[in-house]
Structure formats: structure tokens, C-alpha cells
Amino acid sequence: MNALSSMDLIATAGRTPWHRASALSKIALALLILLLAVFTPSLSLLGVLFGVAVLLALSARVPVRLLLTAMAYPVAFALLFVLARWDGTWITPARILLRPLTCCVAVIWLMGSTPYPDVFAPLSRVLPRAVGDGLFLTYRALFDLIDRSGRLWRAIRLRGGAEGSARRRLSLAGEGLGTLVLYGFERSQRFYATMQLRGHSGRICGCRHYADVTPADLLTLAAAVGVILAAVTLWGRP
């Protein structure tokens, strides 16, 4: 979850052209890369898409360490599938590894250059209202609860809650989580009262600035054109 906090900071504090581009155009580009990576049979196209995704992430100033950490995760799980399909060549493993890596890096670029509310706002237009609003509210509550759970865990350890039998430790962990449930309940009531005071209209994020087009969108457009050209050229190649 530290990755989430880091990406949130990069997305809101970043000053690259990608951060100035509209969320909608970046979502479209990320989706294009993701769909091409999932469906293409061409290893060379996959290689190009992976290169583009890495270039996008690095130019958005996503820290290399964060990028490598994020990439390690799909690699670890893809290895199981590499073993399952092992045929003695390097082409099949490369294809299996490049697909998730490309998708992961494209998503990291999107989330590292776009604040979460701007990603959720267009999603909330197509998802049921409870889910769209739930994304915002969950995100708002998340950092607070992560901090609280971290403090709670330290307190439990300091007071000897991490000692003794596994049954005792797990039961204590449950009791600790109970305090967080209560905190979440009280917090949600306060939050709702605040929403009402501010004239809540029924939809939590009615903002439309995710679609505000800026000159930086030309860069996103250029990247999309480049990706489409690469797809047209390389789709049928091995």
C-alpha cells in the first residue's frame, strides 16, 4: 500500500507535461496500450509497447525504484505461468512476461501522472452510482485508515500483543481491527454530516475537469498515433 501512497504523491505533485494533460486522453492511451498488449500475437509489437510504456513512465518522473518494485510483482506471478508453458524456447516466456509488464507499466504511468479523483470521475459516469461514489469514498478513507492501522499495530506490538500463542495474537489483531471498524463507522457519520452541510447533491464527484483539454494533450495524441502506427506495422510479424 506504500506504492499507492507514493503514486498519489507523484500524481499530485508532478509537474511534467503528462501531469498537465487531461485524464481522459491519458486513460484512452493507457487503455489502447493495455488492449494491444493483451491481444497482440506479435512479440515485436509487445516489445515496442513495453518500450513505449517505460518511456512514458520515466518521462512522467515515476521513480525507477517504484517502477522496478511494481514490475517485480507481475513478474513473480507470471513466472508460474512461464513454467506452466515452458517449451524450451525464449519466445513463449518473453511473450508471457512482456504482456503483464507492459500493462503494469502503462497503469503505473497513468496513476503516477493523474490524481485518483480524475481517474475515478469518468469511471463513475459508467459504473453504478454506489460503486462510482464508493471508489472516491474508499480512496478518501484509505490513507487515514492505513496510518491508523500502522499506529495500532505498533501499539499492539509495544504492549506485548505480538507475543504468546498464535491464537492469542490473531484474536488480539481482530480486537484491534474492531477499533478500526468503529472508527470507520464514526468517521462515515461525520463525513456524511459534512457532505450534507456542503449541499451534497447526490453525486459525490460531479467535476468534469478530467476532460479539460490542454496543449499537453497533443503529446498524448502523438503517443497514441505512434502506438497505432506501430500496431498496424507490426501486428502480423512474429
Partner 1 sequence: MTHLHIPDGILPLRIWLPGLALALLVLVVSAWLTHRETRPKLAFQSSIGALMLAAMAIELPLGPLEYHLSLLGPVGVLLGPAAAFQVVFVVSAMLALVGHGGLTVVGWNALVLGAGAGIARPIARALSARFDPAVSMAAATACAQALSGALWVAVMLGGLRLVSRGRWLHDTGTPVLAALAAPLWAAGVVIETLVALGLGRFLQRVRPDLLPGRAPLPGKDLAR
Interface residues for partner 1 in 23-62 (CB under 8 A)?
A: 34, 37-39
> Residue 149 CA to chain centroid, in angstroms?
21
Neighbours of 74 (CB within 10 A): 17
CB of 20 to partner 1, least distance (A): 21
Amino acid at 173: A
Buried b (16+ CB within 10 A) or exposed e, 87-117: eeeeeebebbbbbbbbbbbbbbbbbbbbbbb
CB 62 within 8 A of CB 108: yes
The DSSP element (H or E) to which 128 belongs, if any, is none
N-term to C-term CA, the chain: 38
Give the nearer residue to partner 1 in terms of CB position, either 6 or 59: 6
Stretch 86-145 residues interacting with partner 1 (CB under 8 A) = 86-87, 96, 99-104, 107-108, 111, 119, 127-131, 133-142, 144-145
CB of 64 to partner 1, least distance (A): 15
Angle between the 91-113 and 116-126 helix axes, to the nearest 10 degrees? 100
Instruction: Return the number of the residue (13 or 225) whose C-beta is nearest partner 1.
Output: 13
Chain positions 180 to 209 lying near partner 1, rule: CB under 8 A, are: 180-182, 184-185, 187-189, 191-192, 195, 200
Q: Which is nearer to partner 1, 157 or 237 (CB)?
A: 157
Applying CB under 8 A, among 16, 44, 59, 149 the residue interacting with partner 1 is 149
Per-residue contact flags (x/-) with partner 1 for residues 64 to 93, judged by CB under 8 A: ------x--xx--xx-xx-xxxxx------
Q: How far is the CB of 218 from partner 1 (least distance, A)?
A: 26
**CA dist., res. 210 & res. 40, Å (int):** 29
Please identify, using beta-carbon distances, which residue of 175 and 211 lies nearer to partner 1: 175
